């Protein structure tokens, strides 16, 4: 690390403090925390929860900045020790790279400035035409996103899963819970194309498969979406997933259609029909909220229009397993030959490139 690199880090840390308005956020946190100490704070539980969520949301930024600031201060000390000959240059470089990494991560997160970016999300996967091939590919994508979520500390719940006829899945709906899950994963909406030697073809021929991914924000208690019960059409059916005799015997799974928009949501995650109805209603609210996001952002392509026909020419990313190994995003041209890492959930390079290029437009 040279003097110029240290000065750059110093300037970026200060700039980050300014444009994140850290001092303003800290004052707001103190103001809200003082309210929580009042004797009547829990008299209105909904308002109390809203205040606690505001505090939590603000602390995401202040605590992340404190981490960067702490690393920078350690770097300052390390630099002084190196200059006096009490620290090897290799160790100083380690401090420098740790600080730089944390700084870049927070600078990047600041791009996720839309109201919905900080929310959890719902991610749906649908196999394209092609039977078993596409259904197997859809299952591979599901595994990829589950691994991505787990590596980033998100909680993953299976809301709905329709098994394939022979292998894989016809469709799946995942709830991915955690701060900024939607902000990061919204870039995955689109059609994903796979080229490989088919494990289901006795002649070992190369096959092309497609699956679509759709991501939308999961509304929380702070976002009110009013739904007229008269606009809903409910249906029940037997759950097809794992769960033993109880799940297969009773019509615990539910399907709800929002008549004005035509949106259909299914849920078979819970054992009771009542719980599934509550979950389905929450998912429907999230879908309707996604439509509201479209209206507020007129310049952005509508979320529903991103559900392109699942075939040639509509994909956002290619995954080639044969005759060579390559994963390439067709929107940003980011590519890697480390196919296995990508399928194991290493998507940060693709997601960051997309948000860097299109984040300001979203």
Mean pLDDT within 227-245: 74
Q: Of 106-120, 205-219, 303-317, which gets the smallest average pLDDT?
A: 303-317
Q: What's residue 246's pLDDT?
A: 44
* Percentage of residues of the chain with pLDDT beyond 90: 51
Mean pLDDT within 311-340: 89
Q: Is the pLDDT of residue 303 over 70?
A: no
CA angle 199, 203, 209 (to 5 degrees): 45
Mean pLDDT within 3-24: 91
Q: Is the pLDDT of residue 82 over 90?
A: yes
Give the model's confidence band at 181: pLDDT under 50 very low, under 70 low, under 90 confident, else very high. Answer: very high
Mean pLDDT within 296-300: 53
CA-atom Rg of the chain in angstroms: 24
Average predicted confidence (pLDDT) for the chain: 86
Helix axes 89-109, 3-19, angle to 10 degrees: 30
Listed as own residue / partner, the contacts of 18-27 with beta carbons closer than 8 Å and 24 or more positions apart are 19/110, 20/61, 20/65, 20/106, 20/110, 22/61, 22/62, 22/65, 25/58, 25/61, 25/62, 26/62
Q: What's residue 362's pLDDT?
A: 37
Mean pLDDT within 63-91: 94
Give the model's confidence band at 193: pLDDT under 50 very low, under 70 low, under 90 confident, else very high. Answer: very high
Q: Is the pLDDT of residue 244 over 50?
A: no
List, for residues 276-294, the tens digit of each pLDDT value: 888 888 888 888 888 777 6
Q: Which residue has the higher pLDDT, 236 or 309?
A: 236
Give the model's confidence band at 359: pLDDT under 50 very low, under 70 low, under 90 confident, else very high. Answer: low
Q: Is the pLDDT of residue 341 over 80?
A: yes
Q: Is the pLDDT of residue 242 over 60?
A: no
Q: What's residue 212's pLDDT?
A: 94
Mean pLDDT within 327-344: 96
Mean pLDDT within 301-316: 56
**Domains of the chain with CATH codes:** 3-110 (1.20.58.410), 122-312 (3.30.70.1660)
Q: Which residue has the higher pLDDT, 30 or 109?
A: 30
Task: Give the whole-angstrom CA distance, residue 64 versus residue 116.
Answer: 19
Structure tokens at 63: 């605590």
Q: Is the pLDDT of residue 234 over 80?
A: yes
Q: Is the pLDDT of residue 160 over 50?
A: yes
Mean pLDDT within 130-142: 93
Q: What's residue 196's pLDDT?
A: 93
Q: What's residue 310's pLDDT?
A: 55
List, for residues 31-59, the tens digit of each pLDDT value: 999 999 999 999 998 889 889 988 988 89
Asked whether the bond before 113 is cis by omega within 30 degrees of 0, the reply is no
């Amino acid at each position: 690390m040279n003097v110029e690199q240290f000065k750059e880090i110093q300037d970026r840390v200060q700039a980050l403090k300014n444009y994140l308005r850290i001092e303003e956020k800290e004052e707001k946190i103190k103001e809200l925390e003082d309210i929580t100490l009042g004797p009547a704070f829990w008299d209105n539980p909904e308002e109390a929860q809203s205040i606690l969520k505001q505090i939590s949301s603000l602390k995401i930024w202040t605590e992340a900045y404190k981490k960067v600031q702490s690393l920078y201060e350690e770097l300052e000390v390390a630099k002084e020790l190196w200059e006096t000959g009490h620290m090897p240059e290799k160790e100083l470089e380690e401090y420098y790279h740790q600080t730089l990494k944390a700084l870049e991560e927070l600078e990047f997160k600041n791009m996720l400035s839309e109201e919905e970016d900080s929310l959890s999300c719902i991610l749906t996967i649908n196999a394209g035409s092609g039977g078993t091939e596409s259904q197997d590919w859809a299952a591979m994508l599901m595994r990829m996103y589950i691994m991505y979520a787990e590596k980033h500390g998100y909680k993953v719940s299976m809301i709905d899963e329709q098994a394939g006829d022979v292998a894989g899945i016809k469709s799946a709906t995942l709830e991915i819970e955690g701060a900024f899950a939607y902000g990061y994963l919204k870039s995955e909406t689109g059609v994903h194309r796979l080229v490989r030697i088919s494990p289901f073809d006795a002649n070992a021929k190369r096959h092309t498969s497609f699956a679509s991914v759709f991501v939308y924000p999961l509304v929380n208690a702070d976002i009110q979406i009013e739904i007229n019960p008269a606009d809903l059409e409910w249906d029940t059916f037997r759950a097809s997933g794992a769960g033993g005799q109880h799940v297969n015997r009773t019509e615990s799974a539910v399907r709800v259609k929002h008549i004005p928009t035509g949106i259909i949501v299914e849920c078979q995650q819970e054992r009771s029909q009542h719980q599934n109805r509550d979950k389905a209603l929450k998912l429907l609210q999230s879908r309707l909220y996604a439509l509201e996001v479209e209206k507020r952002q007129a310049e952005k392509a509508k979320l529903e229009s991103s559900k392109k026909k699942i075939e040639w020419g509509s994909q956002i990313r290619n995954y080639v397993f044969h005759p060579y190994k390559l994963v390439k995003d067709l929107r940003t041209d980011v590519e890697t030959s480390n196919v296995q890492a990508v399928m194991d959930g290493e998507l940060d390079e693709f997601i960051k490139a997309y948000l860097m290029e299109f984040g300001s437009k979203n």
